[in-house]
Amino acid sequence: MSSLVSGLDRRTLVRGMQTRDALSEGKVGKRLRELLQQWREARGANGAWAAKYYACEVLSMLNVVGQFYLTDLFLDGHFGRIATEGIGLEEHDSVLPILAECRISL
């Protein structure tokens, strides 16, 4: 976690700002300037982490699309037909198995 914030220490930044005295003493402006300065110094330091994150997101999307086509291949194209026609299909048109059935008798 500490590598993600690149040296920003929240405890140091908010020390003394929990009370109303800190606001009345005019220290808020100084603390905000310090926070802004640390933010400027740390900006851009997480570019490698962001690139890895977006690469994982792209791989995840490719995984989903690949699973869709692989499932469609195993079901001889019926899965794609159900996905494109959607709600307009009758209940018995599904090629996916019914896993459970619930019957209530009073």
Q: Which domain holds residue 70?
A: 52-93
0.75 exceeded by the pTM?
A: no
Give domain status of residue 101, yes or no. Answer: no
95 close to 79: Cβ distance less than 8 angstroms: yes
Give domain status of residue 99, yes or no. Answer: no
Give domain status of residue 18, yes or no. Answer: yes
CB atoms within 10 A of CB 46: 15
For the segment 5-42, what is each residue's pLDDT rounded down to a tens digit?
Answer: 555 555 655 665 555 555 556 677 787 888 888 888 88
How many domains is the chain partitioned into structurally? 2
Give domain status of residue 104, yes or no. Answer: no
Give domain status of residue 106, yes or no. Answer: no
For residue 41, give every residue at least 6 positions away whose Cβ sits within 8 Å of its Cβ, in sequence order, or none. none
69 close to 75: Cβ distance less than 8 angstroms: no
Sorting pLDDT into bands at 50, 70 and 90, what band is 86? Answer: confident
Complete DSSP assignment for 50-86: HHHHHHHHHHHHHHHHHHHHHHHHHTTTHHHHHHHHG
Are residues 17 and 35 located together in one domain of the fold? yes
